[in-house]
């Protein structure tokens, strides 16, 4: 992280993207990877040649959703069963499918990482592995 602003730099976003690509490759699937800043704005993006085009929008929205409240997208899936939260499922960008994880550095939400292309469990595991390799997840 940039020591002055605690904001994910473009260089760091692409470093995290490379870790995510490696994590997906190790799991045997081609993926689309999206990284947003804390405001949900796209910072880095890549879609593998063989990844279906739908994965592009899904990965971006997973990253956006993870950044929105600092929660992994698989957690949103669980929340959708609660009547007081279920109406949020109608939000056009909310992606309540595993594969989106918040990027947190020194206790501060810095953005979201979204992966799409494997199963929701594979996407989530790859995202967490990428954050571990990047050094910000235990």
Predicted confidence (pLDDT) per residue in 27-62, tens digit: 999 999 999 999 999 999 999 999 999 999 999 999
Distance, in Å, from the CA atom of 69 to the CA atom of 73, rounded to the nearest integer, reads 10
Distance, in Å, from the CA atom of 50 to the CA atom of 32, rounded to the nearest integer, reads 10
Q: Which residue has the tokens 């890549």?
A: 46
**The whole model's pTM is what?**
0.92
Q: Which of 124, 10, 110 is nearest to 58 (CA)?
A: 124
5: pLDDT strictly greater than 90: no
119: pLDDT strictly greater than 50: yes
Predicted confidence (pLDDT) per residue in 53-111, tens digit: 999 999 999 999 999 999 999 998 888 888 998 898 889 999 999 999 999 998 999 99
């Amino acid at each position: 992280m940039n020591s002055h602003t605690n904001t994910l730099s473009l260089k760091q976003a692409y470093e995290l993207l490379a870790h995510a690509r490696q994590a997906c490759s190790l799991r045997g699937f081609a993926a689309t990877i999206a990284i947003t800043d804390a405001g949900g704005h796209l910072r880095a993006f890549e879609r593998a040649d063989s990844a279906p085009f739908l994965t592009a929008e899904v990965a971006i929205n997973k990253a956006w959703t993870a950044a929105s409240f600092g929660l992994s997208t698989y957690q949103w899936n669980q929340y959708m069963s609660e009547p007081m939260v279920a109406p949020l499922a109608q939000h056009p960008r909310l992606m309540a499918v595993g594969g989106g994880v918040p990027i947190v550095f020194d206790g501060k939400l810095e953005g979201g990482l979204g992966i799409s292309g494997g199963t929701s469990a594979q996407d989530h595991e790859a995202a967490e592995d990428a954050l571990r390799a990047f050094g910000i997840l235990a």
